[in-house]
Amino acid sequence: MTVGLRREPRTLAVALDWIPAHCVVPDRFTRGEPFELYDYQFRYLANFYLVRPAAQWVPDDPILGPAFVYRRGLLVDPQKKGKSPLMAAHICLEAVGPALFAGWAEGGELYDCRDYGCGCGWVYEYQPGEPMGMPWPTPLIQITALSEENAGNIYDSLRPMIEYGPLRELIPKTGEEFIRLPGGGRIDVVTQSARSRLGQRVTFVPQDEVGLWTQANKMMQVADTQYRGLAGMGGRASLATNAWDPSEQSLGQREYESSAKDIYRQFVQPPAHLSYLNKRERRQIHRFVYGETLRENGGHVDLESIEAEAADMASRDPAQAERFFGNRLVYGSGSFLDGSCWDDRAFPLDVPDGAAVALGMDGSDTDDWTVIRAETEDGFQFTPCYGPDRRPTIWDPAEFGGQVPRLEVAAAVDELMGRYRVARMYVDPPDWKSEIDAWAARYGDKVVLRWETYRPVQMHAAAQRLATDVMKADTPFWHDGCPVTARHVRHARKSPRPGQRYVLAKPSQSQKIDACVASILAHEAACDATAGDLWPKPAARQKLVVMR
Ligand SMILES: [Zn+2]
C-alpha cells in the first residue's frame, strides 16, 4: 500500500474486535459472558481509534507523531446507559490490547494474542490497507473523577471485567487501590482528594463525570495537568459525563464548546419540542436517549425504573432529573454563582469623582431591599456611597421603620448623577415607576431606563452574562468586595423557566438577593453602554489606572 491511496481515516478495527474477545460483562445475570458493544459504544470507540490517512509507523518510536485523528473523546449520555462498563472496556484495551497504531497492513498479517503474552488463542487477520495495532509497552492509566464514588463506578466494572474473563491470565492481581499491569505498567485512581497521585507520565486517562469538574473544585487544573502529561507521552484522554449545568462552566462544557477539531464529541440530545415536565413526552425523551439500551430493544435498561427514578428526582430537582435522565443541558435550580469565585474577583479601589459609570438599581418597597450598584467602563463594580455619612446605597426597609426611604434614595440618585458621568442606568421598575419617569425626564430618557427583571429571556441572558464574566478566566470584571453584595450573590438561586432558562430567586424570604440583582443590572448597563458606544469620550473621561 502506498500512502497516496489512503484518503479517508480508518478505524483500528483490531482494537474494536479485541474487546468482546477479552472483556466480559462485569455484572448482572450475564456476568462473564463476552462484552458486546452497543452501537453507541462502538461508534464512540470507532471514532476514538480513527487513524489519520497519513499516519506513519516508526517501529523504534511507536508514539512519534499523532497517529489518531482525535486527541481525546467526549461522551455525553444519561445515567445507567452503560458509560462505566464502556470505560472499563476502554481501559482494558489501553492496558493490554492493541490500542496503538502499528503501521498499515498489506493484507494477511496477524494479530496473535500469543505474541503479547495472552494465551486465549485469539487471532485477528488484517485486510489490505487497514491499520494494525499493538499494545503500549508500559501503559500508565489514571482513572480520574471528582469523587471516590464516581471513580468507583468505573473501577467496580473494571475488576470483574478482568477477573471473570480471559484477561485474568494477563492481569492476575486486581487490587482495591490500583492494578499492576505486565511490563511495569499500572492503573491508578485519582480523585479530588487524592490529587497527589497525579503523575506526569500517563498514556491513557479516563475522566469521569467531567460535567462536575470546575475551576472552583480544582478539577479543571487536574485535567490540564493530565493533558500536558498525555501530550508528552503521545497518550490520550477519554471523557464521559451526564449533561451538565451550563452555568457551572465545567470541563465537560469547555471541551464540548471548544473550537478544537481534534476532540471527538458524541452527545445525542432529544428533540427540542418535547417537554420533560409532561409525563408522556418525558417517556418519549427517555425512549429516544436510551434507545437500543432499553430492555424492549434487547438492552439492559428498564424503562419503567428510569421513569420512576426520574419522576422521583424531578419532584426534588426537575433540572437535575432532565440532565441526568433526559440528557439535556439545563440550568439547575442550584446556586446562581459560586461564592468563592465571586470573592476571588474582589479588589477594592477608590473610584474618583467624575469617573464614567453605569448604574443598576433593584428597587423595592416594604420587604426586599433597594440597592444601587455601579460599574466603570473598565469593568470595576462597586456599591457607591452618598450623603454626609457616606452611607452605601443599600436600603433595608427594616432599618427605616418598615419602608424604603424613597426621598433618601432619590437624593442618592441625584448625588450619583452629579458625582459621576453616568452613561446608563437600569432600574427594575415595579415599585418605582413614577421615580423612573422623573429621573428619565431629568437625566435623559436614553440614560435612565426601565429594565424589568421578571422577563425570563432578558433576565436569563443578563444573569448569564455576569456569571460568565465572573467564572471565566481572563475577563476584566472585578469588584469592591462589598459584603452585602457577596452575601446576596451567595443567596441567589436559579429558578428554572421554559426554554432551558432561569430567573433568580431567593432561597427564603429572609435571604435577600437584591444586591445581586442590582449587580446584574449594573453589569448589563455597562455592557450595553460599551456595545452602544455610549461612554463619555476619552477627552472628557478620567481613565482609571489600576494595578492588579
Ligand atoms: Zn487474548
d(CA 251, CA 214): 6
Vertex 100: Cα angle to 97 and 104 (nearest 5): 115
Instruction: From first to last of the 548 residues of the chain, give the pLDDT tens digit.
Output: 444 456 789 999 999 999 999 999 998 888 999 999 999 999 999 999 999 999 988 876 655 568 999 999 999 999 999 999 999 999 999 999 999 999 999 999 999 999 999 999 999 999 999 999 999 999 999 999 999 988 999 999 999 999 999 999 999 989 888 999 998 999 999 998 877 778 778 999 999 999 999 988 999 999 999 999 999 889 999 999 999 988 778 999 999 988 899 999 999 999 988 888 889 999 999 999 999 999 999 999 999 999 999 999 988 888 899 999 999 988 776 789 888 889 999 999 999 999 999 999 999 988 899 999 999 999 999 999 999 999 999 999 999 999 999 999 999 999 999 999 999 999 998 889 999 999 999 999 999 999 999 898 999 999 999 999 998 888 899 999 999 999 999 889 888 777 778 889 887 777 899 999 999 999 999 999 999 999 987 644 445 555 44
144 CA from centroid of ligand 1 (Å)? 27
22 CA from centroid of ligand 1 (Å)? 6
Query: H helices within 6-48, ranges in order?
Result: 13-22, 39-48
71 CA from centroid of ligand 1 (Å)? 27
| pLDDT confidence of residue 540 | 45
At 160, which amino acid appears? P
C-alpha closest to that of 94 among 64, 115, 121, 63: 63
301 CA from centroid of ligand 1 (Å)? 30
Q: Are 375 and 339 in contact (CB under 8 A)?
A: no
204 CA from centroid of ligand 1 (Å)? 20
164 CA from centroid of ligand 1 (Å)? 14
67 CA from centroid of ligand 1 (Å)? 24
102 CA from centroid of ligand 1 (Å)? 18
170 CA from centroid of ligand 1 (Å)? 9
85 CA from centroid of ligand 1 (Å)? 19
94 CA from centroid of ligand 1 (Å)? 14
At 392, which amino acid appears? P
H or E element in which residue 266 lies: strand 263-267
424 CA from centroid of ligand 1 (Å)? 71
178 CA from centroid of ligand 1 (Å)? 22
121 CA from centroid of ligand 1 (Å)? 6
| pLDDT confidence of residue 65 | 61
112 CA from centroid of ligand 1 (Å)? 8
113 CA from centroid of ligand 1 (Å)? 4
Q: For every residue of 432-465, which 3-state class applies, written as one string?
A: CHHHHHHHHHHHCCCCEEECCCCCHHHHHHHHHH
480 CA from centroid of ligand 1 (Å)? 63
207 CA from centroid of ligand 1 (Å)? 26
Q: Are 420 and 412 in contact (CB under 8 A)?
A: no
Q: Are 257 and 93 in contact (CB under 8 A)?
A: no
| pLDDT confidence of residue 2 | 45
| pLDDT confidence of residue 3 | 46
d(CA 323, CA 313): 11
172 CA from centroid of ligand 1 (Å)? 14
SS3 of residue 433 by DSSP = helix
Identify the bridge partners of residue 140 per DSSP, sorted by sequence position: 186
pTM for the model stands at 0.74
| pLDDT confidence of residue 429 | 85
| pLDDT confidence of residue 548 | 44
| pLDDT confidence of residue 4 | 47
d(CA 79, CA 117): 36
| pLDDT confidence of residue 6 | 64
Q: Are 227 and 204 in contact (CB under 8 A)?
A: no
23 CA from centroid of ligand 1 (Å)? 10
At 410, which amino acid appears? A
123 CA from centroid of ligand 1 (Å)? 8
| pLDDT confidence of residue 539 | 47
138 CA from centroid of ligand 1 (Å)? 18
